[in-house]
Structure 1
Amino acid sequence: MKRVFVFAFLMLGMMSVQANAQDESEEVTEEEMMKFAAMEANFLNFMSSKQSEVEDMIKSNEIIEGGGARYNEIKGAWGNEEKLAEINLTEEEKAEFQRIQDFIASLGDVAREYKTDLIKNDEILGIATYNKVNKAIKENPEVKEKVDTMIAEMKKQNAEGGEDPVTDK
């Protein structure tokens, strides 16, 4: 009986040492947070450029004349043949509207692939660092606040024409 108690006591001690070692190794460094923030800021800038691309597709469209107003009119009637007839939708406009919708629908996959490539690239961030910082953000509000502040500063810098936080260009 004494052996079982000693064995159990030793096992608890070893588990405690392993847990402490894990906690220490999981501490996120300033550099890791900075890399994570730079990746996120880059991704947000990418998404902003895609949003601008969609807006330009709509505003400067030669087939859907009237830009956003006509686009919104078509969008409001889309899927209802009666309403589409009421707004006198041409076949060319219908095809162009569908092309724009297909582009918008593809953005989810494009964004996911772009972000995945940023995360997987060890020179930019790396999967291990992403997972470590992401976990710390979820578990520690202070880390989340610090990373969010870094992202906001990087976005502001980029908007002001500063260097790209990922490529330093």
Structure 2
Amino acid sequence: MKKLFVLAFLLFGVIGFTAQAQDEAAEAPTDEELAKFAAMEDSVMAFYDQKNEELVAMIKENEVIDGAARYNEIKDAWEDEEKLAEIEITDEEKAAYEAILEFMGSLGNEVRDLKIGLIKNDEILGVATYNKVNKAIKENPEIKEKVDMMMAELKEKRSEGSEEAEPEAGE
């Protein structure tokens, strides 16, 4: 009878362990989920890069502020009325600088809103997948490294334009 009890105990223990391992395996993100996550992050970075280019152009091409050097001068003096008087800032320059600041402030909101929208869209990523991959990235350095590599590849493809990379010999 004791042998039967021990055997039953061991059997249930193995079944319980197997079920737990299956649960953990089910929670590990698939390569497809990692790819979706990387693509979402790359889309957000591409949008940010585009907006950042707009900001740089807004500063460099601003007719009132007249380039990055004057922008930096205003930026350094911005919170200090004495310094602003010292650099002889005009009302037009103040208004142009404030417009740039407003654009910069909206940039963070736009990027955040885009990312939230992509995460919430089940066809693109989905909240459950985002949470699953995000958790895995935090808990497993190998998964983080894999996603980082996927993102680097996507960024490289994006920077090359829409041209497809030629396969290496042997592929």
Shared fold per TM-score greater than 0.5: yes
Partner SS state of residue 150, structure 1 = helix
- Partner in structure 2 of residue 161 of structure 1: 161
Q: Which amino acid aligns with 2:135?
A: K
TM-score with structure 2 setting the length = 0.83
- Partner in structure 1 of residue 41 of structure 2: 40
TM-score with structure 1 setting the length = 0.84
Pairs within 5 Å for 1:15-164:
19-65=20-66, 67-162=67-162
Q: Which amino acid aligns with 1:39?
A: M
How many residue pairs end up in the alignment? 154
Q: 103-112 vs 85-94, which deviates more?
A: 103-112
Deviations 1:100-144 (A, max 9, x none): 111101211111101001111111111111111111111111111
Residue segments in structure 2 that go unaligned for 5+ positions in a row: 1-8, 164-171
- Alpha-carbon RMSD across the aligned residues, in angstroms, is 2.1
Deviations 1:25-61 (A, max 9, x none): 1021111111111111111111111110110000000
Counterparts of 1:48 and 1:161, CA distance in 2: 14
Q: 20-29 vs 36-45, which deviates more?
A: 20-29
Counterparts of 1:22 and 1:107, CA distance in 2: 40
Q: Which amino acid aligns with 1:31?
A: E
- Percent sequence identity is 57
Partner SS state of residue 89, structure 2 = coil
Q: Which amino acid aligns with 1:25?
A: A
Counterparts of 1:162 and 1:40, CA distance in 2: 18
Partner SS state of residue 145, structure 1 = helix
Residue segments in structure 1 that go unaligned for 5+ positions in a row: 1-8, 164-169
Partner SS state of residue 125, structure 1 = coil
Counterparts of 1:22 and 1:113, CA distance in 2: 33
Q: Which amino acid aligns with 1:134?
A: N
Deviations 1:55-74 (A, max 9, x none): 00000001111x10000000
